[in-house]
Structure 1
Amino acid sequence: MADISILLDTLRVLDTTINVETIITEFHALSEADKDDRRLSTAKKIFPLIFGDNASVQGDIDFSERTKTTWSTSCELSPGIFISPETPQDVGRILALCQFLGLKFSVRGGGHLHNPGFSSNDGGVVISMKNLNAVTVSEDKLTVDIGVGLVWIDVYKALEEHDIAVIGGRQPAIGVAGFLLGGGLSFQNSERGLSCHGVVEFEIVLADSTVAKVNATNNKELFWALKGGGSNFGIVTKVTMSAISNKVWCEGRVYAPKENKKICEAIMEYHKASEKDSKATLIWHTVEEATTLILVYADPVEEQPAIFNVFDEIEPLVSMVPPKIYSILEIVSIFDELTVTEPKSHDIRIMTSMPDLELYNAVEECRLQQIDALKDVPGARVTLTIQPMSPSAFTAGVNQGGDPLGLTAQSQQWLVVLMDWSNPEDDAVVLEASRKIVDLAESVARKNGTYLDFKYSNYCSRDQDPLASYGAENVRKLRSIADAVDPRGVFQKLQNDGWLLSKTV
C-alpha cells in the first residue's frame, strides 16, 4: 500500500480523497490481466474527480471538439481522456496517475504536428497544455516567461506593447514547447542560432512528478539535452527566453515558376555572402503556381541590405511583403493570413547538404514530376522549401552552451518537402512521392560529396530518425541524461510516440 500512499500524497486532493482512494485501492488489488481490462474505465472515473471540468472523457458532449487536432487531419486519433492541466503540479499528478494505471499518454502544445501519434493516441490520455498560457516580461525587459500552451503569434502579440520579441517561430500557429525541444528556426537564425539557444531556463515536470528549473548552472546537462533532444526527459511547462529587439527589415517577393533556375543560382551566391553577414535569413518556398522568396535582415535598416542584391536581376511578379521595417508580430501576422487552409493531411520530409546547385536543379525537376504523378489525387499539393543556414548560426549556438544536434559551423541548406492531401486512402502514394524527391536529393548530394547526415527533427517524416543523425556520441549522452532523470523509462514506455531515444537505432 506504500505506493498508493505516495500516489495519494502526490495527488493532494482533499474533498475527493475518499472516493479516489477507494477507486485506486480497488484497481491496485486486481490481477494484471484484470488491470488490462480496467485501466481506461478506472481512469475515466478518477480524472474528472480530481481535475473537474479540465478533464473530459470519451462520451462527453464536448469530447470530440476538445480532441480535434489543429492542423493535420492524419493526426486525429481516438484517445480515452483529454485533460488540460493548469499548473506544473497538475502535470505531475497526471504523470503519477498514468504510471499507476499503466496508461499511454501524449502531450499536446500547439498541435501543429504531421506525424500521427505524436500528440494524440488511441485509448490513452492526451495532456493539452493550453491552460499554461501566461506571458510575463521581467521588470528590466531582458527576459520573458512563456507558458507552453501558447502558439507563437500569441507570444508576439503579448510582447508587442513592450517593443520586444524572442527568437521564436516564424509560423503563427506553431506551439512553443515542441518547437523549442526540436531546435527551432527563427528570423534571427544567422545571428543568434536556433531558437532553443534563446532559452535561458526550462521549467519541466520529471517522471517522478517533481518540478525542476533547468538552466546553464542548475541541471546543466539536462539543459543541454533539452535544446533539440525532444520529449525524452519530462514535460516542459514554461520557458524563460532572452528578450530581443522586435524590429527587422523584411521583403517578400513572388516569382513565376520559370524563374526558379535563376533563383537557385542566386541562392548559391547568397550562401557565399551569408558567411560574412550574420544578420541575413532567407526562405525559398515554391509550389506549382509560384515561388516565394522571404528576405529578412535582423536589423531595422532603412535600405535593402546588400546581401540580397543578388536577387534584384530576377524580376518578381509582385512584392508580396513590401520592403521596409516590420515588427516580428507584423511579419507573422502576414504569414497567418497566407497560411489559412481547409483541413487536410500533411507530411514533412527533410534532408541536409552543403550548397549544391546540381541538387537544387535536380530536385526542382523531380518536384514537377511528382506534381504530375499526383494530379489525380484530391487536394494533393507539393511544396518545396530551401532553408540556407550560415556558419554563424551554429557558432552562435556553441556560444550559448551548445546542443546535442552535432552540427558543425559550415554553410548548408535544409531542404524540406511538404505534402498536403485530402483523403487518408491516398496516404501511401503521397508519402512515396515525398520520399522520391528527398531520396533523389540525398543521392545527388552523396555523389557530389555535399551530403550532411543531419535531419532537423521538427521537419522529419514518420519513418526518419533525427536523433540518430546527431551522432553516436551525442545519442549516448542523451540516453545517459534520460536514464538519470527518468530511471524507470516512463517517457520511453508510456509516452505514446515522438522522437524517442527508445526508437533510435
Structure 2
Amino acid sequence: MAGVDSLPNPQAEWLAQSGLESRVLFPADAAYATRIDSYWCNSAKLRPSCIVQPHSAYEVSRAVTALAKTNQPFAVRAGGHTNWAGSNNIADGVTIDLGLLNSTQYDDTNQTAHLGPGGKWKDVYAELERHGRTVSGGREAEVGVGGFLLGGGNTFYTSRYGWACDNVVAYEIVLADGSIITAEAGGRHTDLFRALKGGGNNFGIVTRFTMRTIPSGPIWGGLALHPLDAVPAGVDALVDFTTNNASDPYTNMQFVVGHQPRFGGGVGITIANNMLAVEKPPLLQKSLALPEIMNNYKTTTLQEVLTYSSLPPNYYNIWFTLTIKNDASIVRKAAALHNEMAKELQAGIPDQDFTSHVSFQPVPRLFVQQSHAANSSGNVLGLEQNTYDAILIQASASVRTAELEAWARPKVCALVDEVRTFASSIEGGAVPWVYLNYAHSGQEVLQSYGPENVGRIREAALKYDPEGVFQRLCPGGFKISAVKD
C-alpha cells in the first residue's frame, strides 16, 4: 500500500486519514479484481475508484464519516447479489464492501442469532445447524444477508412466521453522522426499527442483524419438471395452494414457467417443500399429480434445497416484478406471454446461451396475519392494503452481453406491462404492491407500500439522516427522496 501522500485518488486519501488505509483496494490490486468478479450479475460489475473493506461497525462509521464530510458518492455492498447496475456498486466513487462483516453467532441465552450483513445464507444456515437452529432467511445459497432482510425477504417460512424482516429483533446501524445505534422493539428507536423492515438503505448502514431462531431439522422437498402442456393444470394447482395455504403453513411452493437449457428448453417447474419433513403433504396433492419429466423430491437438508432455485453467475440479469390477484386467468396470461418472449429470445440469440422465466409465488392474506403475529411493531411493506390472496411474479431473462441485455430488457418490461394491463381488467386483479428484492430500478417500490408507510419511511430518513447523506451520496437502492409527496 502506498503512503498517504501518493494515494491514487482523493477518496482514498480521506479514507486513509480516517485510519482505513490498510482497508482500501485499488483497481490495480488483485483483490480489487476478485471482489468485482464476485458480484453475481455482470450488470453490477462497475469500477469504483476504490473499495473499502471495513472489519467492524466502528470502521464502517469511519468510512461513512469521511465520505459524508467530503461529499463523496458511495455505494454499499453486502452479499453482492442485487442485479441492477448501481444497486450495490458505483462507477468512480467508493464502494463500502461489507463482505468481511459476515459472521454468524448464536446466542443460546435467548435463542437469537447475530448476523453480519455480508454473510450469505448458505453459511448462516451451516453455522446455526451446529446448534440445532435456523432462521427465516433466504431461499438461495448465494444471496446476502443485508439486502435480503432490508427488502422484506420472502422465505421458506413466510406462511408460518411472516417475512424475514418480521423475524429481526434488533438492528445495529451506522448513521450518516457516524454514530452507531441499536434499533429494536420497545427501545429508543422504534420508528427506525419499523422503517428498516422493508425500507431499504434510506437510513444508514446496518452492521448487524439480530434474528429470532427456530428449531432446525430435516425437510422434505425438491423440484419437479413438467412438460409445457401441463402448465394450465400447474396454474390451477398454484391457485388452489394459495387459497388453502393456511391449512398447512409449513408447506411452501412456487411454480415457474421458463426456458432453461439445462432442463431441455421450455418447461414448467414446481419447487415445493415441507419444513417439518412431512412427505407429500396433502396441500401439494394437485401439484404432485401433474405430468412430470422428472422430480427429485425427498427428505433432505435445507442446504441441498437452497441449490434448486440457483441461477448461474456471470450473466446480465434482467428482473421485473409485479403482484396480481390469485386468479388462474392472469397467471395463464403471464405464462403465455413468457413463452412468446422466449421464442423471441431464441430467434435473436443464435448460440441459445440464455435463460428466461416467470416465477409465480403465493402471497396469501395469511402472510399479513403471520407478520403481525411475529412482529407486533409492524413493517412498512404495506401488504395490509391487499384485500385478496395474491401471487408475486418475478419475470427474468439472463443473457451474456451488455448489448443483449439492452435488447432483451424492453421485452421483459413489456411482458410485465401486458400482464398488468390484463390483470387490471379483472376486479382486484392488479395488486399495487411491488417487492423490492425483485424490482427493476425503474419500478416504483416504496410508493407501492401506501401513503402511511411512505410517511413513516420519510420521517425516519429525515430524523436519522437529516443532511440526506444516504439520499444524495448513496444513489443505489430505492430512495424515499425520489417519491413525490
Query: TM (normalized to structure 1)?
Result: 0.88
Query: Does the alignment pair 1:238 with 2:217?
Result: no
SS in 2 for 1:448: coil
Residue number among 405, 424, 441 corresponding to 2:381 in the alignment: 405
Query: Does the alignment pair 1:357 with 2:328?
Result: yes
Query: Does the alignment pair 1:260 with 2:260?
Result: no
Residues 67 and 82 in structure 1, CA contact (< 8 A), matched pair in contact too: no
Residue number among 400, 403, 413 corresponding to 1:435 in the alignment: 413
SS in 2 for 1:416: strand
Counterpart for residue 29 of structure 1: none
User: CA, structure 1 residues 225+164, in 2 after alignment: closer, same or farther (shift >3 Å)?
Assistant: same
Query: Does the alignment pair 1:395 with 2:369?
Result: yes
Structure 1 Cα separation of the partners of residues 179 and 403 of structure 2: 44
User: CA, structure 1 residues 280+357, in 2 after alignment: closer, same or farther (shift >3 Å)?
Assistant: same
Structure 2 Cα separation of the partners of residues 342 and 82 of structure 1: 21
Counterpart for residue 269 of structure 2: 292
Residue number among 282, 287, 290 corresponding to 1:306 in the alignment: 282
Residues 167 and 198 in structure 1, CA contact (< 8 A), matched pair in contact too: yes
Residue number among 13, 16, 22 corresponding to 1:45 in the alignment: 13
How far did 1:342 drift? 5.0
SS in 1 for 2:136: coil
Query: Does the alignment pair 1:499 with 2:478?
Result: yes
Counterpart for residue 422 of structure 1: 400
Report 1:336-375 matches (<5 A).
339=310, 341=312, 343-375=314-346
Structure 1 Cα separation of the partners of residues 206 and 240 of structure 2: 40
Q: Which stretch shows the higher mean deviation, 201-210 or 52-61?
A: 52-61
Residues 257 and 338 in structure 2, CA contact (< 8 A), matched pair in contact too: no
Counterpart for residue 254 of structure 2: 283
Report 1:154-193 matches (<5 A).
154-193=123-162
How far did 1:394 drift? 1.1
SS in 1 for 2:9: helix
Residues 346 and 421 in structure 1, CA contact (< 8 A), matched pair in contact too: yes
SS in 2 for 1:293: strand
Residues 354 and 412 in structure 1, CA contact (< 8 A), matched pair in contact too: yes
Residues 132 and 237 in structure 1, CA contact (< 8 A), matched pair in contact too: yes
User: CA, structure 1 residues 276+66, in 2 after alignment: closer, same or farther (shift >3 Å)?
Assistant: closer
Counterpart for residue 358 of structure 2: 384
Whichever residue aligns with residue 317 of structure 1, its letter is I
Counterpart for residue 56 of structure 2: 87
Whichever residue aligns with residue 209 of structure 2, its letter is V
SS in 1 for 2:170: strand
How far did 1:199 drift? 0.5
How far did 1:480 drift? 0.8
1:236-255 alpha-carbon deviations (Å, 9 max, x no partner): 00111111122333232121
How far did 1:141 drift? 6.1
Residue number among 323, 332, 347 corresponding to 2:298 in the alignment: 323
Residues 7 and 13 in structure 2, CA contact (< 8 A), matched pair in contact too: no
Structure 1 Cα separation of the partners of residues 316 and 211 of structure 2: 32
Whichever residue aligns with residue 323 of structure 1, its letter is K
Structure 2 Cα separation of the partners of residues 121 and 475 of structure 1: 26
SS in 2 for 1:374: helix
1:200-230 alpha-carbon deviations (Å, 9 max, x no partner): 1111001110111111012111010000000
SS in 2 for 1:296: strand
Counterpart for residue 444 of structure 1: 422
Structure 1 Cα separation of the partners of residues 32 and 243 of structure 2: 53
Whichever residue aligns with residue 403 of structure 1, its letter is N
Residues 324 and 330 in structure 2, CA contact (< 8 A), matched pair in contact too: no
How far did 1:315 drift? 2.2
Residue number among 43, 68, 73 corresponding to 1:104 in the alignment: 73
Residue number among 97, 102, 106 corresponding to 1:128 in the alignment: 97
Structure 1 Cα separation of the partners of residues 7 and 460 of structure 2: 30
How far did 1:64 drift? 2.4
How far did 1:39 drift? 12
Structure number, greater radius of gyration? 1
Structure 1 Cα separation of the partners of residues 391 and 42 of structure 2: 29
How far did 1:149 drift? 1.2
Residues 20 and 63 in structure 2, CA contact (< 8 A), matched pair in contact too: no
User: CA, structure 1 residues 167+342, in 2 after alignment: closer, same or farther (shift >3 Å)?
Assistant: closer
Whichever residue aligns with residue 390 of structure 2, its letter is Q
Query: Does the alignment pair 1:459 with 2:438?
Result: yes
How far did 1:40 drift? 7.9
SS in 2 for 1:454: coil
User: CA, structure 1 residues 244+452, in 2 after alignment: closer, same or farther (shift >3 Å)?
Assistant: same
Residue number among 191, 196, 201 corresponding to 1:221 in the alignment: 191
Whichever residue aligns with residue 225 of structure 1, its letter is A
Whichever residue aligns with residue 501 of structure 1, its letter is I
Identity over aligned residues, as a percent?
Answer: 26
Give ranges in structure 1 of 5+ residues lacking alignment: 1-18, 24-37
SS in 2 for 1:443: helix
Structure 2 Cα separation of the partners of residues 390 and 39 of structure 1: 54
User: CA, structure 1 residues 342+146, in 2 after alignment: closer, same or farther (shift >3 Å)?
Assistant: closer
Counterpart for residue 262 of structure 2: none
1:158-199 alpha-carbon deviations (Å, 9 max, x no partner): 111111100000000101010000000110010111101111
SS in 2 for 1:385: strand
How far did 1:433 drift? 0.9
1:60-82 alpha-carbon deviations (Å, 9 max, x no partner): 34432233342111111121110
Between the two proteins, the alignment pairs up a number of residues equal to: 466
Residues 249 and 296 in structure 1, CA contact (< 8 A), matched pair in contact too: yes
Residues 108 and 119 in structure 1, CA contact (< 8 A), matched pair in contact too: yes
Counterpart for residue 10 of structure 1: none
SS in 1 for 2:72: coil
User: CA, structure 1 residues 206+342, in 2 after alignment: closer, same or farther (shift >3 Å)?
Assistant: closer
How far did 1:465 drift? 1.2
How far did 1:346 drift? 0.3
Structure 2 Cα separation of the partners of residues 94 and 305 of structure 1: 51
